[in-house]
Structure 1
Amino acid sequence: MSKPRDLGTLFDELVTRRTRTVVRLARPLDIAPDFGTSYDVAALAALVRNAAGWLHTAGVRPGERVAIVKRNHWDYVLLACAAVRIGAVPALLSDQLAPHALEVLLERLDPALLITTRAVLDTARAHGITLISRAARTVTLEGRYPDTINLERLTGHEPPAPVTRDDDEPLLIVHTSGTTGVPKLVVHTNRTLVLGLAGGECTRLPIVSARKRDTVCSAIAFSHGRAVPWTVSALWLAPREILIVDTADEAEPLLRAHPPTTLEALPSTFVRWRPLLERPDHPLRDVRVFVSTFDAVHPPTVRAFLHGTRRRPLWVQVWGQSETGPLTFRFLTRRSLSRRDARHPTTRNLGRPAPGRTRLRVVDPNTFLPVPRGTPGLVLVDSATQCVDYVGEHSRWSAKTDGEWWNTGDVGMRTRWGAYLMLDREVDVLPGASCVELEDVLEERVPNVVECVVLGTPGKLPQPVVVTRDGVLDPVLWRSALRDLPALAEPVVLAWEQIPRTGTGKVRRMELRAVLRAGQDTFGSGRWT
């Protein structure tokens, strides 16, 4: 089976392959607000060519960087394809980043063009930050804004011929989650991103790969590094339909009109969608494959979705990083989750490395020598899809690279069977325990809990922060849940909206500490964040 090779001409190649997939959107694209919510491949190819013309007319030339900051939607990816087509290097930045973080990232990027919205610029201005001063030129996607170029002025211009580049030159820049501070700008190449990550997913595998008759749904953060290889592989496998959901709160009409058969979503989106399952006619009843990555997903959520479908579904749990792509896989079924560990139910076993693609090593954080199986340590990986640099922070990238091994900054251990057991990020580590496992157990044992976050601080009891369905935590159920757990501080109950989150829905633990006035001291060093 042939594999895609060029992100800039991807949609033209799909037209040549006579791909008949229809892409349906929960709302119109921000770069094409008047063109509805349904596209065939030919229309998408035309839109990417037009966008390439806009960028060229705005003065972007080969090798220059284009920064994109806007509301979450799939046009992040289409704009990236357009930039690559003219030889530029797109940088995808979430509009959920704090203005000061955006300012720092734009300073590092020094983009020839910033594509953004009035809302992003106004939010930054309210914090005393002028983002347009960090780019040579700025284009706003809606309406006029002082000292920027309105998108309407760029339309109607033909793009230049597609520009080719070496497979090892920078192709795309994305950022890490930034749960502990300013995110890192991750540089990927055609070799790591298209030939490696997307190419691997384009191999048609039994059960897990999209089939011709599937309706494939993605409800992720499209500024994330996952969005581009997902787009390439999903379209290359040519399912009947692709559904694009940009926000968890506005998805139900699209899902009801076109019930998906495969679904990849953020863990936080799965949590938000659990109430949908309470109705017998819910729109996810035909899903046969669920895919979860980006962050930890807890047992009650997985179990609810597996039992909420008419099929015999499979849950694919993926662990990876923006710097590397997917690293380990684990398949969960109703049966595997029904064998509950009465003491500590957990989904922290993340399975094995991808065969033939990834190697994994657990080492002592001080000596970097391998530790025995069953002993916690820093997790190192060897993967051909590892990023090639951090923009503006090469020394930080070098510090995490030891020859062929990449320091993930995660603490875990290998089981006797060779699987990887996730404990915590190194900066969030809890001596003798695991914050993430405690969160698994507490969510399992207290039915009203929607989300639990445990924070470890030297000299203090671990602090649980809890979100419940009704804002109330039953003290009797809570005390019962603690029966065999380490001593914890009294829980703090917050609303979902009070928890600081990244663009992928991950909890910003350092910011949450600030909300709680708990200080910034942790048991970890934070050296490899």
Structure 2
Amino acid sequence: MDLETYLDDVRARQARVRPANTPDRLVLPLGELSIPGHVDHWARERPGQAAIVHEGRAISYAELAGLVARVAGWLAGAGVRPGDRVAVDLPNCPQFTVAMLAILRLGAVHVPVNPMFQHAELVHELADSGATVLVAVDSVLPVVVAALPETQVRRVLVTSLSDTAPDLPDGLDATPWSEAVAHAPAPEHPADLDALAALNYTGGTTGLPKGCQHTQRHMLYTAATAAAATGHTVETGYVPLCYLPVFWIAGEDLGILNPIVLGGTSVLMTRWDAGAALAAIERHGVTSMVGTVENYLELLEHPDLPARDLSTLKMPMAVSFVRKLTQDVRAAWREAVGAHSVLCEAAYGMTETHTFDATPYGMSAGDKDLLAEPVFCGVPMPGTDIAVVEFGTLHPLPLGEAGEIVVRSPSVMTGYWNRPDATAAQLDRGWLHTGDNGRLDEDGCLHYLGRDKDLIKVKGMSVFPAEVELLLTRHPAVRTAAVVPAADPESGQVPVAFVSLSPDASVSAAELRAWAKTAMAPYKVPLVEVVGEFPMTATGKIRKVELTDRAQRLADER
């Protein structure tokens, strides 16, 4: 079957199961208007409505539009022209949103930078992007000062998260934020939605981070479809609680783009705090949030929860980095918060696609999404096609068969910045090769099986770590599981599971392995080691690379 015939069949299947209250085609609320243009529109239509709420302070759309125009004026005065790269090294705060929009207003290129970066990481992204201006928070200035000589940055704009003026170190010629917001405003550059607008760096699996080239059209498409596909419209209102870092593209979507396109209110938190989150949900009528499963468990255990009104929170979305979203977690959330608030997995996506390609929203009846093995991702966004193909080709595989997930959508990056080799390896006739294993079921719904590099081959049979992890977490004593491969002289590889236990649970590795033999096919049954804690990355994921040596020792000792 050729790819287009395959897609016709898949789309028809998806249409039959797509939730009734979600769109089957792209609808842009304000048409093809630039992202800063949306701010100006809402400033005229809803001038007094809060655009951003942060640390108890509300910034209206009228105020936001003014700040964006004046900071754009300062940037233009600093020599920023269309196409120039401007790096933004800030945590979640209104200044981040203002800086990003000001950059886009000039037709320049937004380069978000992780403020947790140390010297080599910061130098790489500044030098690789060719950024000439940097907007930074004062707390990162020691790292910035050391990095600048190895970059093309010639102007630095500094802000502070406190009400005081930023403390500038000796030897740094920088401009305080107060000067920028007092500058004469700049007119908006004629919008070209297809011009380069952002370099969103992604770590990937090998080598140094690469800059994904995104446009305002990508941003607009993602915001319009992601919000609508989770039941939000201009009329219903959109109030996300965002503590995901907005320098990540998922946080950018949730905390900046989605609310601006829908004329909503972004409730920003610089860092996670369960009590503050509960108070913000009640006070501001939060409708949506994204957090780890651990975040939701912390909310469930918080003493303030019973006294808080969470009736507006209809779309809580979870990310299963470490703890997995299970039927028990969902049931506990429903019991505590109410049936109106259905906890589900967030979405399938990646930085290269602007992150929101498929969602299980509206497909939780009977816990269908959680019982599917393993991660059930639902149907794609309207206008997005997802196929499962033979790795390295565009030859579609039969439904139910595992292969590589490829994505074609209006938000797929135009390429990697200055990396034609990597671009050619990932993009093929408009399709992005994700490097992810997955399958499409009989309804055309996507199931994510993990990165191809994580695939374990046991006597030629494929074992997907995500599937084994999900099955293991169904044991009542298991809190978290991480599965990695080890070499084996007889089978080629064996899966090895590192497992942490729930509080007060007691079960041995041998007992868990015996239980696994009753829960999965024999070739999937892992060797097991019970651990107290896992090595973690700065982004809250298990650092599996540090488990591989331990896994091999365990396999050798068997």
TM bucket (normalised to shorter chain) is 0.7 to 0.9
3-state DSSP of counterpart to 1:387: coil
Q: Does 1:482 align with 2:516?
A: yes
Q: Which of 427, 430, 451 pairs up with 1:404?
A: 430
Q: 1:48 to 1:467 in 2, by over 3 A?
A: farther
Shift of 1:79: 1.1
Q: Does 1:493 align with 2:531?
A: yes
Residue 221 of structure 1 corresponds to which residue in structure 2?
Answer: 245
Shift of 1:246: 3.1
Give deviations 1:278-303, integer Å, cap 9, x for gaps. Answer: 35516474222223469695325445
Give deviations 1:391-438, integer Å, cap 9, x for gaps. Answer: 121220121111122101111112233222211111112232211122
Residue 358 of structure 2 corresponds to which residue in structure 1?
Answer: 328
Q: 1:295 to 1:262 in 2, by over 3 A?
A: farther
Contact 1:252/1:283 (8 A) holds in 2: no
Residue 456 of structure 1 corresponds to which residue in structure 2?
Answer: 485
Matches within 5 A, 1:181-330: 182-194=208-220, 196-201=221-226, 207-209=231-233, 212=236, 215-230=239-254, 231-239=256-264, 241-249=265-273, 251-252=276-277, 254-255=279-280, 257-258=282-283, 260-266=285-291, 268=292, 270-278=293-301, 279=303, 281=306, 283=308, 285-286=310-311, 287-292=313-318, 298-299=325-326, 300-314=328-342, 315=344, 317-325=346-354, 326-330=356-360
Shift of 1:199: 3.7
RMSD: 3.4
Contact 1:84/1:90 (8 A) holds in 2: yes
Deviates more, 1:427-436 or 1:71-80: 71-80
Shift of 1:40: 1.7
Between structure 1 and structure 2, the one with the greater Rg is 2
Q: Which of 105, 109, 126 pairs up with 1:85?
A: 105
3-state DSSP of counterpart to 1:500: coil
Q: Does 1:112 align with 2:132?
A: yes
Give deviations 1:149-183, integer Å, cap 9, x for gaps. Answer: 14257332213222124222101221225465532
Shift of 1:501: 3.4
Shift of 1:265: 1.1
Q: Does 1:413 align with 2:447?
A: no
Contact 1:212/1:238 (8 A) holds in 2: no
Matches within 5 A, 1:35-114: 37-73=57-93, 75-97=95-117, 99-114=119-134
3-state DSSP of counterpart to 1:411: strand
Q: 1:284 to 1:441 in 2, by over 3 A?
A: farther
Distance 1:336 1:99 in 2: 50
Deviates more, 1:305-314 or 1:387-396: 305-314
Distance 1:53 1:61 in 2: 11
Contact 2:85/2:109 (8 A) holds in 1: yes
Q: Which of 133, 143, 157 pairs up with 1:139?
A: 157
Residue 32 of structure 1 corresponds to which residue in structure 2?
Answer: none
Distance 2:237 2:443 in 1: 37
Shift of 1:462: 2.8
3-state DSSP of counterpart to 1:101: helix
Distance 1:213 1:152 in 2: 32
Shift of 1:46: 2.1
Letter in 1 for 2:267: L
Shift of 1:72: 3.6
Residue 524 of structure 1 corresponds to which residue in structure 2?
Answer: none
Matches within 5 A, 1:441-452: 441-447=471-477, 449=479, 451-452=480-481
Give deviations 1:307-345, integer Å, cap 9, x for gaps. Answer: 43223334364211221132222135664228975xxx6
Contact 1:316/1:332 (8 A) holds in 2: no
Q: TM-score, normalised by structure 2?
A: 0.77
Q: 1:441 to 1:294 in 2, by over 3 A?
A: closer
Structure 2 portions without partners, runs of 5+:
1-28, 160-165, 553-558
Distance 2:469 2:307 in 1: 28
Q: TM-score, normalised by structure 1?
A: 0.81
Instruction: Figure out how many residues of one structure are paired with residues of the other and give that number.
Output: 493
Q: 1:443 to 1:370 in 2, by over 3 A?
A: same
Contact 1:255/1:283 (8 A) holds in 2: no
Q: Does 1:6 align with 2:34?
A: yes
Q: 1:20 to 1:464 in 2, by over 3 A?
A: farther
Letter in 1 for 2:381: A
Contact 2:403/2:437 (8 A) holds in 1: yes
Q: Does 1:374 align with 2:400?
A: yes
Q: 1:167 to 1:295 in 2, by over 3 A?
A: farther
Structure 1 portions without partners, runs of 5+:
28-35, 520-529
Larger helix proportion, structure 1 or 2? 2
3-state DSSP of counterpart to 2:348: strand
Contact 1:472/1:493 (8 A) holds in 2: no
Q: 1:122 to 1:207 in 2, by over 3 A?
A: same
3-state DSSP of counterpart to 1:337: helix
Distance 1:467 1:243 in 2: 34
Residue 354 of structure 1 corresponds to which residue in structure 2?
Answer: 381
3-state DSSP of counterpart to 1:381: strand
Q: 1:481 to 1:305 in 2, by over 3 A?
A: farther
3-state DSSP of counterpart to 1:351: strand
Residue 556 of structure 2 corresponds to which residue in structure 1?
Answer: none
Letter in 2 for 1:252: A
